[in-house]
Structure 1
Amino acid sequence: MENKREIRKFMREKRGILTKEEKERLDNAIFEKIINSKEYKESKNIFIFVSYDTELDTHRIIKQALKDEKVLCVPRVISKDEGMIIAQIKNFEELEPGAYGILEPRDNAFKVDETLIDVAYLPGLAFDKMGGRVGYGGGFYDRFLRKSRKDCKKIGLAYSFQVLEKVPMEKDDEYIDGIITD
């Protein structure tokens, strides 16, 4: 797979064929790794994407972080041009389907400055061990990462089959610090 479009198509298909039981087992392994990680335990302000469709389940992680009294922030898409804002939620019920059908905070959600985030858990379709990430193609997370603090831990969340030897990176793509897989 040479280009991002091929990688995106392949990984969507591969995630789509996981059985419910396989997905649950992998999601549980990732959940345990996250909540037991040093980054999670030491962070006060957490940013995480709200999973959708065949992505690994972040709903359980969000609920746990709220229970652990973390300041929990999730994305709210404004538009393709304006990107997204980072909004704090205090309970999972504050989320409703947004422009792309993905759960996100309401219009009146409390906007949080990107520089306050200690650890950011990021989606992607493919990653590599050098910090490369292939997202969904909108550039939303790359723009967010450019605004975040230099010491903010940027961690991709993925199933192990989503980690490739090398992914193509372009000049506007941001590198991440690590990946948590099953």
Structure 2
Amino acid sequence: MIHQAKKLLREKIKTFIESLSKEEQMQQTKAVFSRLENVKQYNEAKTVMLFWSFGKEIFTHDFVNMAYQTKEVLLPVIDGENLLIKPYTGIENMAPEPHFGILEPQGKAILDARPDLIIVPGLAFDAACNRLGRGKAYYDKLFSSRNTRATLIGVGYNEQIVGAVPVDDHDKQLDMVITPEKIYYRKM
């Protein structure tokens, strides 16, 4: 039942995202990262894990490069069914991965990475900071495999906020979700 609900929601949100013009995408991206730059946890973080966007995801490339000027930046890399964490050392050290052509950092994975803050992509989010990913559970596995105290922040377009994201026991709730219009906080 939950699996089917997630599948239907993914299809609905993908349609919304695909309908965004490049101009709308960039306007909303700019607003999201403007909000993030004013978040206390981001400003205090020394090491942040971001993601290198692809397709119509919130565009992270400029923000990754900006953050790299003052923080240690880590990026996830898909490795089979899991995510590895590698240091970002500049665009010149990125290369396309073989499956989707997403640029990823070269070099060795950091096995004991302990970022202070993790920025997480998603297809849908709700006001309780639940997240719906693409269905491979990469981030949920990453969070459960590490004893992380990192602040978990989802970023998305206004159209990605829904009334309620269907969740399973393994789904990890985020601490915050940032959209162009609002910051949602997990209730403790």
Alignment of 1:84-99 (within 5 A): 84-98=83-97, 99=99
Alignment of 1:28-43 (within 5 A): 28-43=30-45
Q: Which residue of 2 aligns with 1:58?
A: 60
**How many Å separate the matches in 1 of 2:95 and 2:31?**
27
What is the aligned residue count? 177
1:100 is displaced (CA, Å) by 2.7
Alignment of 1:122-141 (within 5 A): 122-141=120-139
Q: What is the TM-score of this pair, normalised by structure 1?
A: 0.90
Tell me which amino acid in the other structure corresponds to 1:127.
F
Alignment of 1:27-176 (within 5 A): 27-68=29-70, 70-80=71-81, 83-98=82-97, 99-106=99-106, 108-114=107-113, 116-176=114-174
Q: State the SS of the aligned residue for 2:12.
A: helix
Residue-by-residue CA offset, 1:76-124 (whole Å, 9 max, x unaligned): 11102xx011111121222221133222122x2342524x110000010
More deviation, 94-103/122-131? 94-103
**How many Å separate the matches in 2 of 1:66 and 1:145?**
23
1:131 is displaced (CA, Å) by 2.2
Residue-by-residue CA offset, 1:19-69 (whole Å, 9 max, x unaligned): 12111111111121112221211000100111000001011110110112x
Q: State the SS of the aligned residue for 1:25.
A: helix
Structure 1 unaligned blocks of 5 or more: none
Q: State the SS of the aligned residue for 2:136.
A: coil
The 4+ residue runs of structure 1 with deviation greater than 4 A are none
Q: Is the 8 A contact 1:88 1:112 kept in 2?
A: no
Q: State the SS of the aligned residue for 1:4.
A: helix
Q: What is the TM-score of this pair, normalised by structure 2?
A: 0.88
Tell me which amino acid in the other structure corresponds to 2:131.
R
Tell me which amino acid in the other structure corresponds to 1:162.
Q
**How many Å separate the matches in 1 of 2:91 and 2:39?**
22
**How many Å separate the matches in 2 of 1:142 and 1:101?**
23
Q: Is the 8 A contact 1:129 1:178 kept in 2?
A: no
Q: State the SS of the aligned residue for 2:41.
A: helix
Tell me which amino acid in the other structure corresponds to 1:103.
L
**How many Å separate the matches in 2 of 1:38 and 1:147?**
26
**How many Å separate the matches in 2 of 1:64 and 1:35?**
11
Q: State the SS of the aligned residue for 2:153.
A: strand
CA RMSD of aligned residues (A): 1.7
Q: Is the 8 A contact 1:15 1:54 kept in 2?
A: yes
